Structure 1
Amino acid sequence: MSAFIPLSVPNFGEKEAARAAEAITSGWVSTSGARVGEFEQALADYVGMPRAVASNAGSSALHLAAMACGIRPGQEVIVPTLTFIAAVSPLTRYVGAEPVFIGCDDSWCIDPDAVEDFCANHCTLKEDGLYNNKTGAKVAALEVVHVFGNMADMPRLLDIARKYRLTLIEDATEALGTKYVSGPLSGKFAGTMGDVGCYSFNGNKIITTGAGGMLVSNHPDWAEHAKHLSTQAKSDMLQFFHDEVGYNYRMTNVQACLGLAQLERLEDFIATKIARYNQYKDALDGYHGLRILPFKTEAEGVRANHWFYSLYLGETDLDRDTVIAALQEQDIQTRPVWALIHEQADYPRNEAYHLEKAQDLRAHIVNLPCSTNLSEADCARVIDAVKALV
């Protein structure tokens, strides 16, 4: 039997083991260790922000973002439907707000034309902000998710947010290392252009601390408030006074040690991601109707981190779930793109617009193995297995 090829797993080595052992032997294993602050500063330095706030998960970082930017019960947030549900719930249900779902464009990210259409034709801009004509609710924020590490159309989306007085929240949980390399936003990383941005270090992300997240903001007071909330809103460290409802969201020192080691390897991980993506693309794109969906390129002004690879079956007779099952029989793990969020839990009662592209991708995408330690030989094995199905 062939060795199992997982979809996306951590890439740990001696450096991570040494860092984790340091935390364990020192006894500083919880949220009080010095490495948490070091990891915050290292991440902030990497993405070019003055500071970062560590959390125990990417979804915790998004919840902190919602509270720090003041999203209130009854308000609405414009969100993508093609994303993981943890991108939506912390900004809406966790704080009592409601989502308005928007479909995607060819980058898989939220469609700026659809966002503009909703704001211009379904809302009214008043002196104190944008209001939904149908519900009467204030539309407080716009969330942009950089899906699979592909850069959303930030120049357009930033303009829309300014025009309609929306707080812009970047979910860059999949996009650490994605950046503009030319154009008006040259040098800017995903997560750093809006009002607040969030990253994830879950086990399948491009760098991982097992679980964990980070928040950055262009509003220093928001970042400070987020940190305060993440440490139980403790206003007096000695007497244990708390001046508002807080949360146990702080990252641990062990996680931070892993993060410091992983961050040192990030650029090498991105290089591997790009190499394996190009191997898939060269072999499969155009083969009997198969497509490997494209990331934005440096010619388009973007260096994407190429986190997840998407095989598109919409121009073939292949069925998504049949392909996934057939590859699983060969010990190759794949998966479909997420079920669309507007169809899940109690979200069908919320408004949703311009869904056609998202529905098409949901029906026809198979995500291929993409670990940063995926070898050239294992990638070739996946390619052969896919070709045999056509």
Structure 2
Amino acid sequence: MVKKIGIHEPHFMGNEKKYLSDCISSNWVSNKGKYLKILENKIKKITKTKYVIPVLNGTIGLHISLILSNVNKDSEVIVPTISFISPINATRYLGASPIFMDVDDCYNIDQDKCIDFIETKTFFKNNKTFNLKTKKEIKAIIIVHCFGNAANFEKLAKLCKKRNIKIIEDAAESLGSIYTKGKFKNKHTGTIGELGIISFNGNKITTAGNGGVVLTQKRSIYKKCKYIVNQSKDDPVRFIHNSIGYNYSLSNLSASLVVAQLENLKFFLKKKREINKYYQKAVFKIPGLNILEGPRYSKNNNWLNLLLGRKIWKKKLFQNNKIQLRPIWFPNHLQKPFKQFQKFKVYKAQNIYKNAICLPSSTSLSKKDIKTIINFININQ
């Protein structure tokens, strides 16, 4: 039986079994243990972040980040309509309302439209930004680095600082993506806003099947975050809790897997670049098709490769037992639970959804696999 080519499969090639076995032998399997500290230090080194808090997954990281940004039921959060649903779900966990924004040519939140919205559809009073339409305070914006591409938000960051709107970066998909130009030069995605998150979900470049980290440069935020994700323990001996907390800490077991994966991050990123180049070369000669190019102001991790073409979205491409293909994220402003919320000049998102599909991008892919994938798509056009 021929194995199906998956969209993004984990690649265990190093010390995963060794470190996992070490955890089991030591009995340090819960939210204490040496691999959690090793994980924190490795992420600090990779991202140049001062403080790192391991958590159960990226969605939890966003939830905690919104809590730390004082988001509540009476506030609003600006979000992109094209992204995995986590930023919107995390916003709704707190009863806050999302405001949906369109995306740019790299499928990230549209900086110019965000600025347009803030400058023309809000007012500033008592160091707070309020929505003219709803009169609710806009407390945060979530910048998603979609498909591993670093988002363009230099001008927006400056305006948000002026308007006291907290920036939370969803770098779940962009571990290894670094800005190479401009004000953000040499900065890793997820480290520019007040808070950022990275995911270690099963489909990410490095994985433990679950897990994530919260990033911040501020010690005060780090201390609050550590406190909240560990059930807000004020006295762990007498079990005194003066605030609501959450059981959101990552386990030492999961951390051991991520540590082993991070040891091979350079190899994974190199292989990602090679796969992207293979796809570019293979698609070049096919009329009407091309591979999405990442922004030129950053070195991107090429997490997923997107094939672009007019009305390429065809059901039969996804209903096969040989190759796993999938559409990009469905526009969130059209999702049933979120249709009632405000959107602003969302024009591009609906069109790009119909004209892009995600290609298998596992680091274990061979040139032969890529050729098979492109031939299959070409035949089924």
By the TM > 0.5 criterion, same fold? yes
8 A Cα contact 2:50 2:218, kept in partner? no
DSSP-derived class of the 1:153 partner = coil
CA distance in 2, matches of 1:365, 1:381: 19
Q: What is residue 155 of structure 1 aligned with on the other side?
A: 154
Question: Are 1:380 and 2:371 an aligned pair?
Answer: yes
Q: What is residue 343 of structure 1 aligned with on the other side?
A: 334
CA distance in 1, matches of 2:161, 2:272: 34
Shift of 1:346: 2.2
Equivalent residue letter for 2:357: V
Q: What is residue 34 of structure 2 aligned with on the other side?
A: 34
Residue by residue over 1:177-200, the C-alpha shift from the partner in whole angstroms, topping out at 9 and shown as x without a partner, is 100123322210000011110010
Shift of 1:36: 1.1
Q: What is residue 117 of structure 1 aligned with on the other side?
A: 116
Equivalent residue letter for 2:229: S
Shift of 1:377: 1.6
8 A Cα contact 1:69 1:222, kept in partner? no
CA distance in 1, matches of 2:39, 2:11: 18
Residue by residue over 1:78-121, the C-alpha shift from the partner in whole angstroms, topping out at 9 and shown as x without a partner, is 0001011112211x111121100001000100001110111111
Q: What is residue 62 of structure 2 aligned with on the other side?
A: 62
8 A Cα contact 1:203 1:211, kept in partner? yes
Residue by residue over 1:16-44, the C-alpha shift from the partner in whole angstroms, topping out at 9 and shown as x without a partner, is 11111111111111112221122112111
CA distance in 2, matches of 1:39, 1:295: 28
DSSP-derived class of the 1:234 partner = coil
Pick one of 290, 308, 313 that aligns with 1:312: 308
Alignment of 1:102-251 (within 5 A): 102-251=101-250
Shift of 1:14: 4.0
Alignment of 1:87-98 (within 5 A): 87-90=87-90, 92-98=91-97
Residue by residue over 1:236-271, the C-alpha shift from the partner in whole angstroms, topping out at 9 and shown as x without a partner, is 121111121111100000111011111111111011
8 A Cα contact 2:200 2:210, kept in partner? yes
DSSP-derived class of the 1:134 partner = coil
CA distance in 2, matches of 1:191, 1:215: 9
Equivalent residue letter for 1:124: F
Pick one of 279, 297, 300 that aligns with 1:301: 297
* Residue identity (%): 32
- Please list every run of 5 or more consecutive structure 1 residues that lacks an aligned counterpart in the other structure: none
Equivalent residue letter for 2:106: S
CA distance in 1, matches of 2:46, 2:198: 13
- Please list every run of 5 or more consecutive structure 2 residues that lacks an aligned counterpart in the other structure: none
Q: What is residue 277 of structure 1 aligned with on the other side?
A: 276
8 A Cα contact 1:320 1:366, kept in partner? no
DSSP-derived class of the 1:278 partner = helix
Equivalent residue letter for 1:174: E
DSSP-derived class of the 2:138 partner = strand
8 A Cα contact 2:69 2:140, kept in partner? no
CA distance in 2, matches of 1:249, 1:16: 23
Residue by residue over 1:259-287, the C-alpha shift from the partner in whole angstroms, topping out at 9 and shown as x without a partner, is 11111111110111111111111111461
Aligned CA-pair RMSD: 1.4
8 A Cα contact 2:5 2:360, kept in partner? yes
Alignment of 1:36-55 (within 5 A): 36-55=36-55
Equivalent residue letter for 1:114: K
Residue by residue over 1:310-353, the C-alpha shift from the partner in whole angstroms, topping out at 9 and shown as x without a partner, is 11122xx644323323xx24x10010112111122421111012
TM-score normalised by L of structure 2: 0.97
Aligned length: 381
8 A Cα contact 2:51 2:218, kept in partner? no
